[in-house]
Amino acid sequence: MMNTIIIKYPNSLLLFFILSVSFSSNIYAQTSEDLRLFSDLYQVHEHKNNFARYFKNSSNELELISTGLFVFYKDFFSSQDGNHCVFYPSCSIYTIEAIKKQGIVIGLMNGIDRLSRCNKLSPENYPLYKNSNLFYDPVE
């Protein structure tokens, strides 16, 4: 019977071979693809806070001191604290960014204002940040 097929259809063997090769390579590719797909499934991401970047662009000594105090607070105190701030960015980051943008006097006043608003009493005033429960309130 096999002989009849080969005589009748001389290209059938070649076709069969090509199909077999193509299918097997397809399956192999899928397995490799799966390995690649799941290789980073349990990847752990490091969250390194680079607060030292705030030292840059300090226009005067007062700003430099306030930045130093901020970095000390973030590294020594805030790193040991739970997530209590209701805002994103947190009140300390908001204050330092306000100081950088608006100057030491207005920035500090804005920071104090932010601290006084750091509660969940008026959720209607702020949108939520991404998928978290934090209120989004950046420095304007």
Partner 1 sequence: MNSTRKLYILLWTIYSIFSLQVYAQTLQESLTFADKQFELKNYRLALKEYQRVLFFSTGENLDYIYSKIASIYFINGYYSEAAYNFERAYKTTGNERLKIEFIFKKASCYMLDKKFRMALFELMNLPDSTDTQYNNRKNFYFAVCHWGLEEFEKSEKYFLNIIPDNRPKDKEKIALLFAKKRNLYRPNPKTAKIMSMILPGSGQIYSGDIKNGLNSMILTGGFVVLAVYMTEYYTFFDAFLTAAPWFMRYYQGGYQKAKQIAVHKRDIRRNKTYKEILRIIQQ
Interface residues with partner 1 (CB under 8 A) are: 24, 27-28, 30-31, 34-35, 37-39, 41-44, 76-77, 79-82, 84
The nearest distance, CB 3 to partner 1, in angstroms, is: 29
The nearest distance, CB 128 to partner 1, in angstroms, is: 20
The nearest distance, CB 83 to partner 1, in angstroms, is: 9
Span between the terminal Cα atoms of the chain, in Å: 84
**C-alpha pair distances (Å), 19 with each of 4, 6, 80, 105, 126:** 21, 16, 63, 76, 61
135 contacts: CB under 8 Å, gap ≥ 6: 86, 87, 88, 123, 125, 126, 127, 128, 129
The nearest distance, CB 136 to partner 1, in angstroms, is: 22
Residue 74: closest CA among 44, 58, 97: 97
- Identify which of residues 49 and 60 has a Cβ nearer to partner 1 in the complex: 49
Distance CA 106, CA 90 (A): 18
- Identify which of residues 11 and 31 has a Cβ nearer to partner 1 in the complex: 31
- Identify which of residues 16 and 23 has a Cβ nearer to partner 1 in the complex: 23
- Identify which of residues 86 and 139 has a Cβ nearer to partner 1 in the complex: 86
